[in-house]
Amino acid sequence: MQAIPVVTIDDLIEGYEALLFDAYGVLVHSEGPLPGACELLARLRQIGKPFYLVTNSAAHLPEHAAFRYQRFGLPVEPEQIISSGALLKPYFAANNLQGTRCAILGPEDTYRYVQQAGALAVPPAEDFDILVIGDQVGFPFLESIDTVLSRLISKFDRGLSPPLILPNPDLIYPKASGFGITCGSMAMIIETVLKQRYPDRADTRFVHLGKPETALFEEAARRAGTQNLVMIGDQMDTDIRGASRYGIDSVLVSGGVAELRFYAHHPEWWPTYRLPHLQHSL
């Protein structure tokens, strides 16, 4: 396995104009901050170093996410949060999906994101034109998946092709007690069932909006006003692969979802550096 150079946070502060952080597995887990995160963001704020949270979460509007992070002790403002939920609006506009009935698997804020995108957000029990998976909570899980699957099968049987949209392709996320499944795993259940029933159809896959697609990085560069950015993440196939696709450097932090030792055969997703922890000296 290729040796990945180790960096410190000080190296990153010195080497790049703005820092991009993934949230889950880097700064927070589902119940609180990760070690060193509060001190690091407080220091960045104090020295005036621009930073943004580039997150695949579509479960919270930026103002609610910021409030939540602030309660954890992280000094983050809403305008520093770039979430995959916010990509729904430009996607709906580009694909003429405003005014459609959009079923949501997710909490209240996913409904808000879809409403902001100009569609009518409905619960999974109601008929729909398109489907968005926004989170793994906020609805009765099994019952809702079954309902959505039944409706999708009915539509596909009639030759319809309802758009399937996945802002957050992450499969798992870190919890205080281990890991939990999230949106990408839910989409895989639906895709697997549809693929089995309709093996010759090409429209049974979800469209992915978040990392490793480049839209979140494009928005980060726009807000930061520079391309001299570095992405600090814990997932190889979203954070690191996405940064590589967009053409910026990346850093894999230890202790999150991915461990480098399991990725010996994926050189195209390789991080520029690795960071053992968020504290400012080794």
Q: Which residues lie near Mg ion (CB under 5 A)? A: 22, 24-25, 234-235
Closest residue to Mg ion, based on beta-carbon distance? 25
Contact status, residue 206 vs residue 187, Cβ threshold 8 Å? yes
Q: Shortest approach of Mg ion to residue 28 CB, angstroms?
A: 9
Judged by beta carbon, residue 26 or residue 119, the one nearer Mg ion is 26
Residues 6+ positions from 220 with CB-CB distance below 8 Å: 18, 20, 52, 54, 82, 229
Of 164 and 248, which CB lies nearer to Mg ion in the complex structure?
A: 248
Of 109 and 239, which CB lies nearer to Mg ion in the complex structure?
A: 239
Q: Shortest approach of Mg ion to residue 34 CB, angstroms?
A: 10
Least gap, CB of 49 to Mg ion (angstroms): 21
Q: Which two tokens stand for residue 180?
A: 């939990």
Q: Which is nearer to Mg ion, 128 or 263 (CB)?
A: 263
Taking the C-alpha atoms of residue 66 and residue 69, their distance in angstroms, rounded to an integer, is 5
Q: CB nearer to Mg ion: give 237 or 249.
A: 237
Please report how close the Cβ of residue 239 comes to Mg ion at its closest, in angstroms: 7
Q: How far is the CB of 55 from Mg ion (least distance, A)?
A: 8
Query: Which amino acid is present at 183?
Result: C
CB proximity list for 59: less than 8 A, separation 6 or greater: 85, 106, 107, 109, 110, 134, 135, 137, 138, 168
- CA-CA distance, 199 to 134, in Å (whole number)? 26
Instruction: For 224-270, give the DSSP string.
Output: HT-S-EEEEES-IIIIIHHHHHHT-EEEEETTSS--GGG-TT-GGG-
3 state DSSP class of 188: helix
Nearer to Mg ion, 109 or 234 (CB): 234
| Beta carbon of residue 234, minimum distance to Mg ion (angstroms, whole number) | 4
Q: Rounded to the nearest 5°, which phi and psi values hold at 11?
A: -60, -40
